[in-house]
Amino acid sequence: MLIRRIELREIHLALLHPFETSFGRTTERHIILIRVEDADEAEGWGECVADEKPHYNEEWTESAWPVLERFLAPMAIGVDLASAAAIHSIFEHIRGNRMAKAAIETAVWDLDARRQGQPLWKLLGGTKTEIACGVSIGLQPSIDALLTKIEREIASGYQRIKIKIKPGHDIDLVRAVRNRFPDIQLMADANSAYTLDINIKLGRVGGHVEVRRIEALCRERGIPVWCGGMLEAGIGRAHNIALSTLAGFVLPGDVSASERYWDEDIIDPPVTVTPRGTIVPLAKPGIGFEVKRGRLDSLTVRKKIIDAAS
């Protein structure tokens, strides 16, 4: 598998509703997308999950772009890869920058799965033909507003509710939710405003190779894990679906429907959730979804092609 061309593209995608955490309020995502192409003109897609500002960690959109353009993409061009997993070692001597690395790494996994004519989730070693879904709810203007939103998500079938909290807005929120909904699976997430929480986020750990290592380690020790979300658009969401089929992902994750975030996603079909609060991975090759090129073109604010001649 010889990578001959990598396309970097930044899109701006407005959220349907503002999403507030202890870091601040997000109304629009600035997302870097990666398209890799091999010598046979097959393609694969990945998504960089870095935020618009360096609040979640040190990576952000404006730091990820030059790392991808000047270092990671040129390193991948012209390399003959035995498998998708091999790209991980190509990037080993670049310190940190896991979200940028994961953007290319996941695109190569998608490419490899498409070349082999099998779904990405099967290539990763996934075993689940249906994954349980939860939702992450940002900070709301009032407790009543939070309870109303939770009630709506439960009615939609979601199996786990995660609420955002922060110092000064925590115990009262959790107590009100638990009193109103005593039987739901409930998580509270402060986005490291107190201490680091334990879940697996594809971009945060550096890609599918690291996800599989962590999942195997936890599964062997009986530690349940779930898939965390980073307000991904459809490509990143599709990769999250694939990794969530691994056997160790036993808790409902943050993988939810496209319609909760976007008036129109960048993939076809959009991600949907069944009435029982699950997602059924698609049987098509690669991530299983088609990228909507016209939609991408209308959202693109910058684009760069990197190949052997660059």
Catalytic positions: 164, 201
CA distance 58 to 51: 10
Cα–chain-centroid distance for residue 188? 19
Q: Which amino acid is at 102?
A: A
List, in order, residues 6 or more apart from 133 with CB less than 8 Å away: 158, 159, 160, 252, 253, 255, 256, 273, 277, 278, 279
Phi-psi region of 305 (alpha: psi -120 to 50; beta: other; left: phi over 0): beta
Cβ neighbours, 10 Å, residue 47: 29
Q: Which amino acid is at 170?
A: D
What does the longest C-alpha to C-alpha distance in the chain come to?
Answer: 63
Beta-strand ranges (E) seen in 120-166 are 131-132, 134-137, 160-164
Tokens describing residue 209? 């190779």
Report the chain's C-alpha Rg in angstroms: 19
Residues forming beta bridges with residue 98, ordered by sequence position? none
CA distance 297 to 79: 29
- Say if CB 243 and CB 208 are below 8 A apart: yes
CA dihedral sign of residues 275, 163, 12, 121: negative
Instruction: Say if residue 269 is preceded by a cis peptide, omega within 30 of 0.
Output: yes
